[in-house]
Amino acid sequence: MNTRARINGERLLQRLDEFAAIGATPAGGVNRQALSPEDRSARAKLANLALERGFGVFQDPMANLFIHRPGLSNDLPPFLIGSHLDSQPMGGRFDGALGTLSAFEVLESLEDASIQTPRAVEVVAWTNEEGSQYAPGCMGSMAFASGAIPIEWYSTHSPDGRVLGEELAATLDALPEAILRSLGSPLSGYLELHIEQGPSLERENIPIGIVHAIQGTRWLEVVVTGQTAHAGTTQLSFRRDPLVAVTEALQELYNSVMPNDERARLTIGRISLEPASINAIPGKVSFSVDLRHPDASELARLEDHVRVTCEEKASAFGCAAVIRRTFDMPPAQFSPLLLQAVDRAATRLGVASKPMLSGAFHDALFLARVTDAAMIFVPCRDGLSHNEAEFVEPEHSILGAQVLLESTLVALQMAMK
């Protein structure tokens, strides 16, 4: 197989600018949330670019958009590359878009070089990766991997009252040129380029991260109940103050979780008090816990540690704690075969790289359940993402796309099933 294809860097950077204009914010970011008019415009633009190059355009019932470039044998499962086009409400220009547009640039570069691949290569733009309007995130890849759309998703409402089922139907109708295909299909592999969304690569001056796993995540909702009482007349010995219990519990958790395991993550993102009056001892304190770890057994141990700590501290102050798990996502280990392909590609190109762990969700998490999957990271300035100031140096965008192209070619040469 001829492997002389090179990314057209100027074309890629121009495309990134063009797509950043769809849903552009005054501060230089992007507001292109899933199933919105802006999201539909971006999908339509990508589909039109594909049709102009003679590629096939498809969508499935979850509005995942697929662009197909045939291979020598179209009886073999395709190799899939891509990411997402939706953004946070005040998001950046590169989160998702870099991976999707780089994947499309791979197809164009293969076409420009007249390279015939042994099997089809497809680009995907997954629906609702961000989950900013409709929970959960990664809906498109989750539905693809499971082969079904949960019925309850259709009635999910956005914060402004829009219904997912209605917006999904409108999104599908807005792209009549895309041929409808069934949900889920066999793949030979999946590779996703993404910005790191953290500072490690930039700080170490390494342009490429080879992602070997995605951390598992558990969300807990903790409610500690005491007794509401008068702030001025209730002596210390008579107080059943849940806030004191929570303060003690959180202090112990902060001191014991991350300091003792550099791979562990503990975040308290939300906390509320009732009745939230300046002159009343609260009767109830509720807070969220976000736990992350790449090892499933350690993640379970962390949850047990949170439960025991909260229950013991609540009891010590005359209160009661109820802990409920609200979300559970097991860790994902990526394919050694594809990781080897990315490593070989970086070596061939003379590019420095490092193995990495992803602390954030990505669509590749769900693809890893049904096929060989891996991810490539590129640095982003100051590690910022989900932020209008999100930025990737042009040379890193181009290099990431070139590594994606080379990795795809290496993977196609390897024994992919």
Which two three-digit tokens encode residue 169?
A: 């139907």
Cβ neighbors of 359 (< 8 A, separation 6 or more) are 198, 214, 215, 265, 292
Question: Where along the chain do the CATH 3.40.630.10 domains lie?
Answer: 9-214+331-413
Percent of the chain with pLDDT over 90: 96
Burial class (CB in 10 A: 0-12, 13-18, 19+), 206: middle
DSSP structure class, residue 284? E
What mean pLDDT comes out for the span 108-122? 97
pLDDT, one tens digit per residue, over 146-164 is: 999 999 999 999 999 999 9
Residue list for the binding site: 84, 95, 130, 194, 386
Asked if 377 contacts 195 with a C-beta cutoff of 8 angstroms, the reply is: yes
Dihedral pair phi/psi, residue 79, rounded to 5° = -95, 130
How many CA atoms lie less than 13 Å away from 261 in the CB half-sphere? 17
User: Quick one: pLDDT at residue 168?
Assistant: 99
What class is the 216-329 domain?
alpha beta
pLDDT, one tens digit per residue, over 71-102 is: 999 899 999 999 999 999 999 999 999 999 99
Selection from 31, 213, 59 nearest residue 124 by Cα = 59
The sign of the dihedral angle between the CA atoms of 308, 313, 316, 320 is negative
* Spatial distance between the Cα atoms of 172 and 152, rounded to a whole number of angstroms: 19
DSSP SS3 for 193? strand
Selection from 241, 392, 208 nearest residue 314 by Cα = 241
Q: pLDDT grade, residue 414 (50/70/90)?
A: confident
DSSP SS3 for 211? strand
Residue list for the binding site for Zn(2+): 84, 95, 130, 194, 386
Asked if 70 contacts 120 with a C-beta cutoff of 8 angstroms, the reply is: yes
* CATH 3.40.640.10 assigned to 9-214+331-413: no
DSSP SS3 for 79? strand
Percent of the chain with pLDDT over 70: 99
User: Quick one: pLDDT at residue 192?
Assistant: 99
pLDDT at 303 over 90: yes
pLDDT at 2 over 60: no
Beta strand pairing status for 373-378 and 189-195?
parallel
Asked if 331 contacts 216 with a C-beta cutoff of 8 angstroms, the reply is: yes
pLDDT, one tens digit per residue, over 264-278 is: 999 999 999 999 999
pLDDT at 3 over 60: no
Question: Where along the chain do the CATH 3.30.70.360 domains lie?
Answer: 216-329
The sign of the dihedral angle between the CA atoms of 312, 316, 321, 326 is negative
User: Quick one: pLDDT at residue 210?
Assistant: 99
pLDDT at 417 over 60: no
Nearest 5°: CA angle at 49, between 143 and 60? 20
